[in-house]
Structures are given as structure tokens and as C-alpha cells.
Structure 1
Amino acid sequence: MVVSMALAERAWCVVIPHHPRGARIARQRLTTELRNAVHPTLLADAVAVLAELVGNAVRHATPLPGGVVRVAWRLRPAGSDQEVDRDTVEVRVTDGGATEQPRIRAIAADAIDGRGLSIVAALSDRWGVDRDGLGQSVWAELSGSLDHDRRESP
């Protein structure tokens, strides 16, 4: 007899201030919600990506009405559908939009900033930007498919 159990997808949405302290609030909430749900390395990567996306929203974009940024994440546990064989976390940061499309920039080795989306791209499986009439959402999907054993310190 084979018993299979589908694990439900879960999602969260948090409104944070369009201010640097908003990144700390978002990191704390994400960590609290996913601490016991995903591999620690996947959680660390998701927290780093979320912090970069919030930081970019605060530095480069206008806030949503009310002076806020909307932060959301979704967990699709391994086995929650036929195509998911690893835990997948999607993080999404929605703001009022920026004058320039978010993109990875070529920067000098000694530049003090400008690496945010390069970090996002390196840690995530894929990322992108969605725009609608209200603003823009920058999202990233992480599956933990990176080599955890190689990346963890002893």
C-alpha cells in the first residue's frame, strides 16, 4: 500500500515602511515563518534575496500609497505538486515603481554598491519584474537546488 500526502502551499504578505528599517522587519518575519519549514541554507538565501529586493525598493523606487512596500513570500513544499521535487520559496517585493527597469549592472570591482541584483541572480533559480498600473513587483524563486553541502561551513 502506497500512501502519499500532498503538502499545501502557504503564502504570506506583509506591509512594511518604505524605509531601510523595513528590510529588517521583512527579514525577521520571513525567518520566523519559515525557520522550521525549509532547509537552513534555503532560508538564509531567501532572507538575503529578500533583503536585497527590499533595499532596492527603498533606494530606487517610490512607495505604494501610504508610504509602504508590500513584501510577500510563498512556500511550495517538495511534493506539493507533480513538478516540485524540492522546497521552493518565492519572494516578491512590490513598490510604486522606479524610473528605470530593475536590471543587473556591470560595475567596477571596487564599487561600493550596485551588486544587489547580481546577488539575487546568484542565489535564486530565476527572478523577474512584473509591472501593472499600480507599480512593480520584483520577484525571485529559490528552490534549494544549489549544492547545500558545498556551501555550508563545517
Structure 2
Amino acid sequence: MNRKLAQPVSCVRNFSVLLSSTPRGARLARLLATEQLRTWGLPSDPAQLIVAELANNAATHGRVPGRNFQLLLYVVRDTLRIEVVDTRGDRLPCLRHTTSADQTGRGLTLVAALADRWGVTPGLPPRKTVWAELTLPVTE
């Protein structure tokens, strides 16, 4: 007798990687996240842009020489959660009001515009987690 096993109602998927707090580590975070989302059969946009911004912030503003940052992706039901953990818990990010003349400072504004929810969670010293959540499209 050939039976199909019932799929679990709530499948939780996760991915985690430590990366160097450098521009190269930030680029690698975006590439790895894009590939992981492809593997899971999920759209890469706008998640890859959010990962790029959060990883770049970790490598730029959360950088401590010799310490890495961590990228985590979680899928629970219809939500993709992106987390970037760095070791500069003393430097909490905030939205900046920029002008057209500003060369930088738009990263979190972009994250806020693309994500359904985002925030910052203090961690065990010296860490902090900057996270963003996206509601995934329903697939049949």
C-alpha cells in the first residue's frame, strides 16, 4: 500500500551564517540570502535588498575589528524574518531624515519602505539584532 505522508501544517525553515564585518562580507550576505531563498522556492525581491542594507549597516556601523556579524533567515508560515546581528549594541540604528544632497543615510528608510515590519532588539552585550519581516505571497 502506497500512502502519502501528510505535510506538517507549519513548516519552519531557517538559515544562519557568520560573515566578516567587511564590504565583502556584506556582499556575500546578499548572495547567500538570494541563493537560500531560491532554494526554498521563495522570491528574492525585496528580501535581497533588505539583506543588502542590513548587512552593509552591520559591516559599516556595527563593525568591531576581529568580530563577525551574523545573518539569519527564518520562514514561519507566511512570514520571512531577516535578522542581522552585530557586536555594536551601543550603536542603535534609527531612521534619518535625509535631503537630496545627502550621499548616505537612506538604508533604513529603504528597509522601512520594503518590509512589513522592522525593528532593533538589544542582545546580550555587546550585541544587537536589526530585523525585518516580509509577508510571503500565498502559493497554491
Tell whether the 8 Å contact from 1:61 to 1:99 is kept in structure 2 after alignment.
Answer: no
User: Who is 1:110 aligned against?
Assistant: 101
User: Who is 1:134 aligned against?
Assistant: 126
CA distance in structure 2 between the aligned counterparts of 1:73 and 1:62, rounded to whole angstroms: 21
User: Who is 1:84 aligned against?
Assistant: none
Aligned-residue CA RMSD in angstroms?
2.0
List structure 1 segments (4+ residues) > 6 angstroms apart after TM superposition: none
Q: Percent identity?
A: 35
Normalised to the residue count of structure 1, the TM-score between the two structures is 0.76
* Structure 1: 5+ residue stretches without partners: 81-86, 146-154
SS of corresponding position for 2:45: helix
Aligned length: 131
Tell whether the 8 Å contact from 2:80 to 2:133 is kept in structure 1 after alignment.
Answer: yes
Instruction: Write the letter of the residue equivalent to 2:67.
Output: G
Normalised to the residue count of structure 2, the TM-score between the two structures is 0.83
Tell whether the 8 Å contact from 1:70 to 1:95 is kept in structure 2 after alignment.
Answer: yes
User: Who is 2:32 aligned against?
Assistant: 29
The reply on whether 1:54 has 2:45 as its aligned counterpart is no
| Alpha-carbon spacing, 1:134–1:100, altered in 2? closer, same or farther (3 Å) | closer
* Structure 2: 5+ residue stretches without partners: 1-5
| Deviation for aligned residue 1:24 | 1.7
User: Who is 1:69 aligned against?
Assistant: 69
